[in-house]
Amino acid sequence: MLQLQNIAKSYPSALGKTQHQVLKNLTLNVAKGETIAIVGPSGTGKTTLLNILGTLDKADEGTVLIDEVNLMELTPKTQPEFRNKKVGMIFQLHHLLPQCTLWENVLIPTLPSKANPKDAEQLAEKLLKQTGIWEQRHQKPAELSGGECQRAAVVRALINQPAIVLADEPTGALDEENADKLTHLLLELNKEMGTTLIVVTHSMKLASQMDKIYELHNGQLQLK
∠ CA(205), CA(159), CA(90), 5° rounding? 35
Alpha-carbon distance 223 to 216, whole Å?
A: 9
Judge contact between 189 and 180, C-beta under 8 A: no
Judge contact between 2 and 53, C-beta under 8 A: yes
Predicted local confidence at residue 112, as pLDDT: 85
Predicted local confidence at residue 144, as pLDDT: 95
Regions of the chain with pLDDT less than 70: 16
CATH 3.40.50.300 for domain 33-58+76-223, yes or no, is yes
Domain boundaries, the chain: 33-58+76-223
- Candidates 168, 207, 2, 199; CA nearest to 86 is 2
Interacting residues of 195 by C-beta distance below 8 A, sequence separation 6+: 33, 88, 158, 161, 162, 163, 164, 165, 189
Interacting residues of 27 by C-beta distance below 8 A, sequence separation 6+: 4, 5, 6, 7, 220, 221
CB atoms within 10 A of CB 212: 15
* CA gyration radius, the chain: 17
Judge contact between 131 and 149, C-beta under 8 A: no
What is the tens place of the pLDDT at every residue in 169-189?
Answer: 999 989 999 999 999 999 999
Predicted local confidence at residue 19, as pLDDT: 82
The residue count for the chain: 224
Judge contact between 224 and 39, C-beta under 8 A: yes
* 119-125 own/partner pairs: CB under 8 Å, 24+ apart: 120/159, 123/159, 123/161, 124/155, 124/159
Alpha-carbon distance 68 to 70, whole Å?
A: 6
CB atoms within 10 A of CB 84: 17
